[in-house]
Chain A
Amino acid sequence: MAAPTLKVSRGWSGLALGVRIAVLRLPGLTQVRWSRYGPEYQDPQIDKEYYRKPLAQLTEEETYERELRKTQVIKAAPATKTSSVFEDPVISKFTNMMMKGGNKILARSLMTQTLEAVKRKQFEKYHAASAEEQATIERNPYTIFHQALKNCEPVIGLVPILKGGHFYQVPVPLAERRRRFLAMKWMITECREKKPRRMLMPEKLSQELLEAFCNRGPVIKRKHDMHKMAEANRALAHYRWW
């Protein structure tokens, strides 16, 4: 029977189906990190196309997953997520990182102004260029944004490890989400610190994004510096145990 063996391979999913397992509660210890949702609540699936897919095209795994989700309680969709085509998770994350003091309105307006500035600059270049160059100029601000951040992502990072009373900088491969985070963080700190006094954030940020898109600029340099330091500390790589 296919379905029970699938369940076995998932490791006693008797636990997953509608059974609330109480989180370990020891007397005298209060939970600090807790959420208003119980542990059985699953994250919502907002993508429209996931639901519109006809049943005939689903694989066995997907059918099983669909059936399983029918028995699960789902959390409410957050206020920042919609099924809109204009929504981009990378842009949302970047906006949140730019936000200061919870001022999402300002952060979002800065983001839209940045993308507009990128688009304007590219269009100026496009109109000023000859026919064969026009084919190479990228005008979509979203592709430029994604490519720029991808170019800024470091491949390897340094982690301080305590050994023999000293902290050594050990080169360590970074997880995907850490790389994305570092790229965004470097971009934002670079724009905030090295900005000329009267220049506004959208202008500076669009400038940096375009430079990163072409693999130039201070953020790319910082990434290369990180790689060089990791290369320099190669000898310490065996300090890593994971």
Chain B
Amino acid sequence: MAGHAPCSAPLPGSLADPAPICAGAVCRPCPIALRPAPPAPNMAAPSVSCGAAVPYRLFLAGRVSFAREQGLWKAAASGLQTGTRCQILRLKHSPAVTTKKNVAALRRESYTVDFIKKQIEEFNIGKRHLANMMGEDPETFTQEDVDRAITYLFPSGLFEKRARPIMKHPEEIFPKQRAVQWGEDGRPFHFLFYTGKQSYYSLMHEAYGKVLHAEERQDQLRAKGLFSEKSKSKDPIGSRWLIKEELEEMLVEKLSDQDYAQFIRLLERLSALPCDAAEEEFVGRFRRTVTVQSKKHLIEPLQYDEQGMAFSTGQGKRKTANAEAVVYGHGSGKIEINGVDYLLYFPVTQDREQLMFPFHFLDRLGKHDVTCTVSGGGRSSQAGAIRLAMSRALCSFITEDEVEWMRQAGLLTTDPRVRERKKPGQEGARRKFTWKKR
């Protein structure tokens, strides 16, 4: 791109500069990437005028001619010194790139190992700068702190979360790529290279070796008579096998469904045998934990009013109705809504059944008193909102098992269904206008 402003070579001392600000049009993938995907080397992006921005050179082997670089550098430097408003403390050198169509975008980008290593260094340095700027300790600056700092420094109004500025470790940004698989003589390093899927087959080889080893050990134990048919104490539901996409990502190789199935079968066979610690660890690498849903609920502790009566509040929503319910520990099953008895407020049986549902489900029909306020929505959505609020309030009175039962009965989930908008060119949300042939 013409008008590309190269910068001077970085001096060792310049890394400690308090506010190095880069000028003008520089284009290189920064650890703080303003675009979501790693940019093609030929693309230009405006730099970030921020203290921690550490752009650096991108060497494209064979494309740079030094004489041209020097000339461009001098020309640009004079221009920069006169014209720019920013303070230039360090100008980076970047290769001269002629105007050419962005053909590289069609190919998959490949990044060299050195490039990635440099990125990681720069990311770490940038993280420390960021910590300095935010006034925090650079040693204990975690990724969450980094994310928080970036959202603070670069507030974005974009709705798409993936389009907002990010600063993540280069491993997460740049796709994993395989290093060159063969040496200078053209001979591949790995003995399984010519299978085409060397990581997969070497993994299968390793796993099968472990299976044979475990079977041998089992036979030895049997021969000695020490073998006992004890079942594994591993939690059956708490973890799952890797899915095919995750395995592909791990091996950086494309797999077919049959390959994946074969691998999982082998792992299951291995885990069925008595394993020692190394084999357990090997199997553990391919298992991911599954969250138990009920742990996500926060159950409020009971509150007590002046008379010593236990009560609990809950809030519920359904469509546009909002409800807040206060459930008292002891009562006779009275429900008061906006100061009115429930029989008068909900003349329809279906709504009263909805109010009764949580109590009947827990066998606590006449044992609690409820006072609730509700606004918005229609009669059915108000009933649904009150039902949700009451269920949430009841969580404080019951055991954890019963909370899980309520969750599985669908009493603790907010109904996400809302009215679908009408679309232009149609009569309603789904109904189209009458089709007329002419």
Residues of A within 8 A of B (CB): 1-5, 7-8, 12-15, 17-19, 36-37, 44-46, 48, 51, 64, 67-77, 79-80, 82-84, 87, 104-105, 108
- Does the CB pair A1–B265 fall under 8 Å? no
Q: Which residues of A contact B360 (CB under 8 A)?
A: 48, 82-84
- Does the CB pair B236–A4 fall under 8 Å? yes
B81 part of interface (Cβ distance < 8 Å): no
- Does the CB pair A36–B417 fall under 8 Å? yes
Taking the nearest CB of chain B, how far is it from the CB of A213, in angstroms?
26
Residue of B at shortest CB range from A51? B405
21 contacts between A and B (CB under 8 A): A1-B271, A4-B236, A4-B268, A14-B240, A14-B242, A14-B264, A18-B291, A44-B410, A46-B361, A46-B410, A51-B405, A51-B409, A64-B237, A70-B292, A74-B408, A76-B415, A76-B416, A82-B353, A82-B357, A82-B360, A83-B409
Residues of B within 8 A of A (CB): 231-232, 234, 236-237, 240-243, 261, 264-265, 268, 271-272, 290-294, 348-350, 353-354, 356-357, 360-361, 380, 383-384, 388, 404-405, 407-411, 413-418
Taking the nearest CB of chain B, how far is it from the CB of A183, in angstroms?
25
Residue of A at shortest CB range from B289? A18
Taking the nearest CB of chain B, how far is it from the CB of A20, in angstroms?
10
Complex CA–CA separation, A199 to B242 (angstroms):
65
Taking the nearest CB of chain B, how far is it from the CB of A96, in angstroms?
12
Within 8 Å by CB of B354, from A18, A69, A82, lies A82
- Does the CB pair B293–A46 fall under 8 Å? no
- Does the CB pair A70–B410 fall under 8 Å? no
Q: Which residues of B contact A64 (CB under 8 A)?
A: 236-237
New contact pairs (7) apart from A14-B240, A76-B415, A79-B383, CB-CB < 8 Å: A1-B231, A4-B272, A71-B291, A76-B413, A77-B357, A82-B353, A84-B356
Complex CA–CA separation, A182 to B65 (angstroms):
81
Residue of B at shortest CB range from A105? B348
Q: Which residues of B contact A7 (CB under 8 A)?
A: 236
- Does the CB pair A83–B361 fall under 8 Å? yes
Taking the nearest CB of chain A, how far is it from the CB of B390, in angstroms?
13
Complex CA–CA separation, A18 to B291 (angstroms):
7
- Does the CB pair A70–B237 fall under 8 Å? yes
Within 8 Å by CB of A5, from B234, B268, B290, B410, lies B268
Q: Which residues of A contact B384 (CB under 8 A)?
A: 79
Q: Which residues of B contact A46 (CB under 8 A)?
A: 361, 409-410
Within 8 Å by CB of A18, from B234, B240, B264, lies B240
- Does the CB pair B354–A71 fall under 8 Å? no
**Which 6 A-B pairs rank lowest in CB-CB distance, beginning with the nearest?**
A44-B410, A3-B236, A77-B410, A76-B415, A67-B237, A17-B240
Known contacts A1-B231, A67-B237, A69-B408; is-contact A83 B413 (Cβ 8 Å): no
Q: Which residues of A contact B407 (CB under 8 A)?
A: 74
Taking the nearest CB of chain A, how far is it from the CB of B220, in angstroms?
21
Complex CA–CA separation, A15 to B288 (angstroms):
12
Taking the nearest CB of chain A, how far is it from the CB of B416, in angstroms?
4
